[in-house]
C-alpha cells in the first residue's frame, strides 16, 4: 500500500470534529438499548458533551489550516466559521429538545444519535473542497434529518412531513448529482479550485455553454436545501409536521451548511462564469423574498408562519450571493449566524408554549402570553424584532450588510424590492407581538410551567447572542470578512 493511502495525523486532526461527532453518536446508539424508556433522556448529556468537544475541535482547527485527504477537505477560516455555526445549532437543538422529548415520552436515544450524525454531515459539508465530498456530506446530513422529521412516527403529520421531505429531498439531490456529473465531464475534475482554474481560461473552454446548464442543475439541488424559490414548497409542510425542536434544527443547521457549500461552489468554483448564473440568482432571490413574506401574512399556525419566514430569510441571503463579491460572502456568513440564533430561539419559545402533543401552535394560543409568562413573551419579542431587523438586534446588521453588498454590486432594483418585502414582513411579526400583549388569554389556555432548565438555557443563549451580535457586530464580522477573502 503506498504511503499516501495512510492518512497522517495532521489530516486526521483536520476532521477531528466529525470524528468526535460520529463517535458520540455511535456511543449513544450503543447505550440506548441499555437504558429503558424515559431514562434515555440522560443520553442528551452525551449528545451535549460530544457537541461541545466537537466545537472545541472545530475552533482549534482554525489554528492549523490546510487541506487533507488529497484536497477533498479544506480547513480554512470559512470552513471553521460554518463548522462552529452548525455545531452551535446542534447544541441549541439538543438543549431545546430535552424537555420536549420528555414531555412526549419519546425514546430519545435514537433522536440524539440522528442529530449528531446530521451535524457531522453538515460539518463535513462546511469543510469540503470537492463536489463529491459535498454530495456525501449533504446526504449524511439529509438522511439523518429525514428520519428526525418523522421521529414521532405515531403522529400522522410528522410521518407525512418525513415522507414529503424525503421524496422531494432525494429528487433534488439527483439534480445536484447530475449537475456534478456534467461539471466533471466539462472540466475533468470535481475539485473546486481546479474547476475554477478551468473556467478562468474563459470562452476557449470546450463545453462552456453546457456549464451554464450544469450550474442550473446544481442550483436546483442547493435551492431545495435552503428552501428557495422555485423549490420552497416543501418547507411549510415539513416544518409544520415535524416536532418543534426538529423544525428549529431543520431551519438552522442544514440551511447554514447548504449556504456554505452554495457559496463554495458558486463563488469559488463557478465564480468565473458568474455572468451566467447571476440572473438566475437575481430572480430566485426576489421570488423567494416575495413568496415567503406574502404567504406568511395569512398564516394562523405559528410553525407554518415561521416556515414562510425562514423562506423569506433564505431570499435575503440569496441577495447577498447574487452580489458575488467578498463583502457579499461576508454578509452571507454574518446573516447565517444571526439567523441561526434568532430562528432557533423563536422555535424554542414555541417548543415551550406548545404543550404536550403540540396542542397550542395556533397564533391565538399565544394570546395573553405577556401576562401569563412575561419572560417567555419578552424573549420571543426579542427574536421577532430581530427577524424584522430592528436596530440593536442581530437581524438589523444582517440585513444592513446584505443590502449594502447588493448596492455595491449595483443591484439597485433587487435592493429596493428586497427592502419593501422586508417591510411587509414587519406586519406578521408585529401581529404575534400584538397578540401576546394585547389579546386576552383564551379560557382553555393551559397552565404553563416556568421557562427553566435546558430549554430555558437554549432560549437565553439565543437571546443573548441575538443582542450581542446586534450591539457588537464587529465581533464576528471581522472574522467573516477575513475568511471571505479565502473563499474566493
Partner 1 sequence: MTGVPLSWFLILSAVLFSLGVAGFLIRRSVLTVFMSIELMLNAVNLSFVAFSYQLKQVNGHLFTFFVMVVAAAEAALGLAIILAVFRNRGTLQVDEVNSMKN
Can the peptide bond before residue 225 be classed as cis, meaning omega within 30 degrees of 0?
no
**Which of 33, 37, 188, 374 contacts partner 1 by CB under 8 A?**
188
159 versus 378: smaller Cβ distance to partner 1: 159
Alpha-carbon distance values, 101 to 31, 123, 225 (Å): 17, 25, 26
487 and 78 Cβ atoms separated by less than 8 Å: yes
**Which of 30, 167, 297, 420 contacts partner 1 by CB under 8 A?**
167
If we measure between CA atoms, which residue out of 45, 258, 246 comes closest to residue 141?
Answer: 258
Alpha-carbon distance values, 244 to 111, 149, 345 (Å): 13, 10, 11
Question: Which span (41-49, 156-164, 250-258, 326-334) binds partner 1, by CB under 8 A?
Answer: 156-164
Determine phi and psi for 108, rounding to 5 degrees. -90, -5
174 versus 423: smaller Cβ distance to partner 1: 174
Could you say which residues in the range 131-150 bind partner 1, by CB under 8 A?
132, 135-136, 139, 143, 146-147, 150
**Which of 36, 156, 275, 440 contacts partner 1 by CB under 8 A?**
156
Euclidean distance between CA atoms 464 and 92, whole angstroms: 13
Question: Which span (6-14, 151-159, 355-363, 394-402) binds partner 1, by CB under 8 A?
Answer: 151-159
Binding flag, residue 201, partner 1 (CB under 8 A): no
176 versus 385: smaller Cβ distance to partner 1: 176
Euclidean distance between CA atoms 37 and 105, whole angstroms: 8
Could you say which residues in the range 234-293 bind partner 1, by CB under 8 A?
236-237, 240-241
Euclidean distance between CA atoms 420 and 50, whole angstroms: 43
Euclidean distance between CA atoms 85 and 256, whole angstroms: 8
Could you say which residues in the range 339-368 bind partner 1, by CB under 8 A?
none
CB of 188 to partner 1, least distance (A): 5
If we measure between CA atoms, which residue out of 295, 318, 149, 291 comes closest to residue 223?
Answer: 318
Residues 286-325, one symbol each (x = binds partner 1 by CB under 8 A, - = not), give: ---------------x--x---------------------
- Strands 66-68 and 73-75, by their bridges, are antiparallel
CB of 425 to partner 1, least distance (A): 21
Residues of this chain that bind partner 1 (CB under 8 A): 132, 135-136, 139, 143, 146-147, 150, 153-154, 156-157, 159-160, 162-163, 166-167, 170-171, 174, 177-178, 181-182, 184-185, 188-190, 236-237, 240-241, 301, 304
Amino acid at each position: 500500500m503506498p504511503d499516501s493511502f495512510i492518512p497522517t495525523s495532521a489530516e486526521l486532526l483536520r476532521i477531528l470534529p466529525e470524528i468526535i461527532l460520529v463517535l458520540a453518536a455511535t456511543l449513544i446508539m450503543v447505550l440506548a438499548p441499555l437504558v429503558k424508556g424515559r431514562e434515555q433522556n440522560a443520553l442528551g448529556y452525551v449528545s451535549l458533551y460530544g457537541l461541545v468537544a466537537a466545537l472545541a475541535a472545530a475552533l482549534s482547527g482554525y489554528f492549523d489550516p490546510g487541506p487533507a485527504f488529497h484536497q477533498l477537505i479544506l480547513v480554512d477560516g470559512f470552513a471553521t466559521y460554518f463548522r462552529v455555526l452548525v455545531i452551535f445549532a446542534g447544541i441549541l437543538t439538543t438543549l431545546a429538545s430535552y424537555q420536549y422529548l420528555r414531555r412526549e415520552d419519546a425514546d430519545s436515544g435514537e433522536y440524539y444519535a440522528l442529530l449528531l450524525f446530521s451535524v457531522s454531515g453538515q460539518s463535513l459539508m462546511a469543510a469540503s473542497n470537492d463536489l463529491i465530498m459535498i454530495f456525501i456530506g449533504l446526504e449524511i446530513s439529509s438522511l439523518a434529518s429525514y428520519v428526525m422529521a418523522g421521529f414521532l412516527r405515531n403522529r400522522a403529520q410528522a410521518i407525512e412531513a418525513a415522507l414529503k421531505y424525503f421524496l422531494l429531498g432525494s429528487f433534488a439531490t439527483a439534480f445536484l448529482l447530475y449537475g456534478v456529473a456534467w461539471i466533471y465531464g466539462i472540466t475533468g475534475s470535481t475539485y473546486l479550485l481546479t474547476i475554477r482554474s478551468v473556467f478562468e481560461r474563459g470562452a476557449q473552454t470546450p463545453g462552456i455553454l453546457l456549464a451554464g446548464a450544469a450550474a442550473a442543475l446544481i442550483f436546483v439541488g442547493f435551492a431545495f436545501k435552503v428552501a428557495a424559490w422555485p423549490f420552497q414548497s416543501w418547507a411549510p409542510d415539513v416544518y409544520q409536521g415535524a416536532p418543534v425542536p426538529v423544525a428549529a434544527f431543520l431551519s438552522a443547521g442544514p440551511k447554514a451548511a447548504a449556504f456554505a457549500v452554495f457559496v463554495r461552489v458558486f463563488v469559488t468554483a463557478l465564480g468565473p462564469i458568474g455572468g451566467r448564473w447571476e440572473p438566475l440568482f437575481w430572480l430566485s432571490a426576489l421570488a423567494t423574498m416575495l413568496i415567503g413574506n406574502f404567504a406568511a401574512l395569512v398564516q394562523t399556525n405559528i410553525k407554518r408562519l415561521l416556515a414562510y419566514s425562514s423562506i423569506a430569510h433564505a431570499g435575503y441571503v440569496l441577495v447577498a450571493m447574487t452580489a458575488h463579491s467578498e463583502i457579499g460572502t461576508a454578509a452571507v456568513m454574518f446573516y447565517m449566524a444571526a439567523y441561526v440564533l434568532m430562528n432557533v430561539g423563536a422555535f424554542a419559545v414555541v417548543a415551550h408554549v406548545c404543550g404536550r402533543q403540540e396542542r397550542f401552535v395556533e397564533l391565538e394560543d399565544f394570546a395573553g402570553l405577556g401576562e401569563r409568562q412575561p419572560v417567555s413573551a419578552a424573549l420571543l419579542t426579542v427574536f421577532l424584532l430581530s427577524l424584522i431587523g430592528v436596530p440593536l438586534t442581530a437581524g438589523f446588521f444582517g440585513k444592513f450588510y446584505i443590502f449594502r453588498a447588493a448596492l455595491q454590486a449595483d443591484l439597485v432594483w433587487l435592493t429596493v424590492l428586497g427592502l419593501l418585502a422586508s417591510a411587509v414582513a414587519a406586519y406578521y411579526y408585529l401581529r404575534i407581538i400584538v397578540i401576546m400583549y394585547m389579546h386576552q388569554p383564551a379560557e382553555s389556555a393551559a397552565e404553563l410551567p416556568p421557562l427553566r432548565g435546558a430549554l430555558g438555557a437554549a432560549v437565553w443563549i439565543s437571546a443573548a447572542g441575538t443582542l450581542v451580535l446586534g450591539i457588537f457586530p464587529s465581533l464576528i464580522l471581522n472574522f467573516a470578512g477575513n475568511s471571505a477573502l479565502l473563499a474566493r
